Amino acid sequence: MNVAIAAPPSAAARHSRRRKRRSKTALVTICFGVGAIYFIPLVWVLSMSVRSAREILEPGLIPQSFNPENYGDAWERYELGKLFKNTGIVTAGTVLLGVALSVTAAYGFSLVKSRFGEFAFTVLLLGLMVPPAAVIIPFFIGMRELGLYDSLLAVVLAETVFVLPLGVLILRAYIESIPKDLSDAARIDGASEWSVFARIVFPLILPAAATVALFMFLSAWNGFLLPLVLLRDPNKTTLTVGLSQFSGQFGSFEWHLVAAASAIAVVPVLLVFYLARRYYVQGLAAGALKQ
Amino acid sequence: MLLFIVILLVPVVAVIVLGFSGWTGFDLQQIRWEGARNYWELTKDSFFLAAFRHTVVLIAATALLMNALGLAAAMVVNSRVRGSEFLRIAMFLPLGLSPIITAVIWQRMLGPFGIVNEALGWFGISPVDFFGQPRMAFIALIAAYVWQYAGYNMLLYYAALQSLPTERVEAAAVDGASKWGQFRHVVLPYLRPVVAVVVILNLIGGWKIFDIVYVLTGGGPNRATDVLATYLYEQSFTFSNVGYASAIATIIIGLAVVSSLTRRAVAGSDTA
């Protein structure tokens, strides 16, 4: 190695610098190339969504005509307002209930250290592993026996159960990283257990709660199996179930409208996802790598 | 906490118990207990065995591609060349999509008038019927799945690369190791435990595959892409074979739990 350092800038060194620059250009090309390929499905749908009915069989990524009225047509034709409302109710309910339950449960887990608590935590980890499809039958039967079948409440409750384990896991880890001295000091000053939680712990865990809320939002908004199984009334369907149905029914000859509907369904979630990406990455690191 | 145990544990126990019943039709009066008969039937059910095989193939193929692509992309993003942010966002966005949307889009993209067949045409390849032939339908599923989830692996590897000791890489570079040598002998050994964890996470996620298959191929053509979860769904909600479906569900739970325990064992032995 000494030889290489001691030698003056030679032809070989210049050559290697040039090679370095060339490999860098190659990397940049790969970045933009692969990134562009990755964007094709989304760009293609957007392109289809503004085409005329005749043009949907035409090739290419660039539409020949521009028909933004497709969006209004799709909204009316597939009653997207209704689907949006139902999906919104399910998502809001799941996020509110899920965050409330996972914050209190995580705080409980961190306060009470008992063998029973450890067992409950193991059950929680089991909840992370079990695929929703595998326990859909008891959910279906249970909701029916409770008289909740075909109600949005059933979907909210079921979605909450599936998002809860990850929420508790992330929040518990976060709460345990808060120095105990803080809450102990407050207790010595005579603060009640509730005010310790409300005034000290809760404000500190807000970033983690945001991460948890984001995961719950995504999972409820994008959920498919639970609304598919737990709802029957077409007036209560959610966006994903509705889209899968009319894509199958009309997709071949109304693809411009189905594409517009897909774009409408995708935009809010991608916007939230993009803006909150920091929280997603944090949650991923906390949830996936440090279980 | 008691509430937790009830709502999380009861469904799992219920499925396992129902797996021993000959229940059909969701009518609580008609439960009959038949011991392990469902499992005996499953060993002879060629549709179930095929669904199991398809699930394994799908998991193996997607995990391989997602790890290769995810790791490569993470290395590129970590090098911070111009455009790496673009690549990161491009791979990240599909993670926020519903698998249903992915399936709806890919179904058209791979269809007779889709952009994929158009692109194949440029190379003089005649249009491919992606959903009419078993092998092609598999490729369609793998492509859509990898498109959606490779970003997940990229993010995990990227997170791991943040704590890569750069002195070690620099030392190797000073010693005259090529880029590939640095990757092969310094970065890869460092990431090995992370790779193990990510592969197992993919495995756990893989047993859950339902939405994308249900909408993209519907398990077709002629059951060629049926997976465990879609077969379970069909048995329970199309044929109302609740007991039989519960036995399938128990097997899925078993596979998922075993995969997770492997993950914990791996995480325990190495520090990941």
CATH of the domain at B58: 1.10.3720.10
Total Cβ atoms within 10 A of residue A263: 20
Which long-range contacts (C-beta less than 8 Å, at least 24 apart) are formed by A111-119?
A112/B1, A116/B1, A117/B1, A119/B5
Helix axes A202-222, A80-111, angle to 10 degrees: 140
**Distance (Å, rounded) from C-alpha A102 to C-alpha A120?**
13
Q: Flag if B15 and A128 touch (Cβ within 8 Å).
A: no
Give the best residue of B105, B194, B244 to mutate against chain A (max A CB count within 10 A): B105
Co-location of A108 and A26 in the same domain: no
Count residue pairs from A and B with Cβ separation < 8 A.
Answer: 244
CATH code, A130:
1.10.3720.10
For chain B, report the end-to-end CA distance as a whole number of angstroms: 29
**CB under 8 Å, gap of 24 or more: what pairs does B18-21 form?**
B18/A137, B18/A138, B18/B242, B18/B243, B18/B246, B19/B243, B19/B246, B19/B247, B19/B249, B19/B250, B20/B243, B20/B247, B21/B242, B21/B243, B21/B246
Residues A268 and A190 in one domain: yes
Give me the interface pTM, i.e. the ipTM. Answer: 0.85
Considering chain B, what percentage of its residues have pLDDT values greater than 70?
95
Per-residue pLDDT of chain A (291 residues; tens, 9 = 90+): 344 444 455 666 666 677 777 777 888 888 888 888 899 899 888 888 888 877 877 777 888 888 888 888 888 888 888 999 999 999 999 999 999 998 988 888 887 777 777 788 778 878 888 888 888 888 888 888 888 888 888 889 989 888 888 888 888 888 888 877 777 888 888 878 788 888 888 888 888 899 899 999 999 999 899 999 888 888 889 999 988 888 777 666 788 888 899 999 888 889 989 998 888 888 887 665 554
Q: Flag whether A174 is in a domain.
A: yes
Query: Which residue from A minimizes the CA distance to B88?
Result: A35
If asked whether residues A46 and A82 sit together in one domain, one would say no
C-alpha to C-alpha distance for A135 and A290, rounded to whole angstroms: 26
For B18-56, write each residue's pLDDT tens digit: 888 777 777 776 677 777 778 888 888 888 888 999 999
Residues A194, A107, single domain; the answer is yes
The boundaries of the domain holding residue B126 are 37-161+172-269
Going by C-alpha positions, the residue among A81, A224, A87, A216 that lies closest to residue A152 is A87
In this structure, the answer to whether residues A138 and A17 fall within a common structural domain is no
Calculate ∠ Cα A84-A90-A95, nearest 5°: 120
Task: Tell me if B22 is assigned to some domain.
Answer: no
Average pLDDT over residues B116-139: 86
Q: Is residue B216 situated within a structural domain?
A: yes
Residues of B in contact with A139 (CB under 8 A): 11
How far does the CA of residue A131 sit from the closest CA of chain B (Å)? 5
* A257: its two tokens: 């409208």
In a domain, residue A39? The reply is yes
Domain ranges, residue A199: 72-289
Pick the closest to residue A268 from A93, A100, A94, A91 (CA basis): A91
* pLDDT at res. A1: 39
Domain annotation covers residue A3:
no
Does residue B152 sit within a domain?
yes
Q: In the prediction, which pLDDT does A288 show? A: 59
Instruction: From residue B153, give the alpha-carbon distance in Å to each of B13, B34, B258.
Output: 32, 43, 21
Average pLDDT across chain B, whole number: 84
Bridge partners (DSSP) listed for residue B33: B21
Please tell me which residue, A146 or B272, carries the higher pLDDT value.
Answer: A146
Predicted TM-score (pTM) of this structure: 0.87
Q: What percent of chain B has pLDDT over 90?
A: 22
Q: Is residue A163, in this structure, part of any structural domain at all?
A: yes
How high is the pLDDT of residue A89? 93
User: Do A22 and A161 reside in the same domain of the chain?
Assistant: no
Domain end position, chosen among A69, A102, A117: A69
Of B89, B102, B252, the CB nearest to A134: B252
Confirm if B132 and B181 have CB atoms less than 8 A apart.
Answer: no
Q: Is residue B3 part of a domain?
A: no
Q: How far apart are CA A44 and CA B105, in angstroms?
A: 9
Determine the pLDDT at residue A68.
82
The minimal CB distance from A262 to the residues B11, B101, B194 is found for B101
Shared domain check, A115 and A49: no
Name the band, by pLDDT with cuts 50, 70 and 90, for residue B271. very low
User: What is the C-alpha separation between A37 and A43, in angstroms, rounded?
Assistant: 10
Q: HEC states along chain B?
A: CHHHHHHHHHHHHHHHHHCCECCCCCCHHHCCECCCHHHHHHHHCHHHHHHHHHHHHHHHHHHHHHHHHHHHHHHHHHHCCCCHHHHHHHHHHHHHCCHHHHHHHHHHHCCCCCHHHHHHHHCCCCCCCCCCCHHHHHHHHHHHHHHHHHHHHHHHHHHHHHCCCHHHHHHHHHCCCCHHHHHHHHHHHHHHHHHHHHHHHHHHHHCCCCHHHHHHCCCCCCCCCCCHHHHHHHHHHHCCCHHHHHHHHHHHHHHHHHHHHHHHHHHHHCCC
Instruction: Check whether residue A102 and residue A169 sit in a common domain.
Output: yes
Say if B132 falls within a structural domain: yes
B208 vs A contacts (CB less than 8 Å): 131-133
Q: Which chain A residues are Cβ-neighbours of B101 within 8 angstroms?
A: 240, 243, 262, 265-266
Task: Give CA–CA dist A127/A144, Å, rounded.
Answer: 22
pLDDT for B270 equals 44
Same domain, A128 and A158: yes
Query: What domain count does chain A have?
Result: 2
Q: From CA B58, how far away is CA B65, in angstroms rounded?
A: 11
**What residues in A contact B108, CB-CB < 8 Å?**
48, 251, 255, 259
- Distance from the Cα of B170 to chain A's closest Cα (Å) equals 13
Tokens 């109600």, residue located: A151
Are B90 and A266 a contacting pair at CB < 8 A? no
Q: What is the greatest pairwise CA distance in chain A?
A: 84
Domain total of chain B = 1
Q: Is residue A98 part of a domain?
A: yes
pLDDT at B105 over 50: yes
Residue B240: inside a domain, yes or no?
yes
Residues of B in contact with A41 (CB under 8 A): 94, 102, 105-106, 109, 147
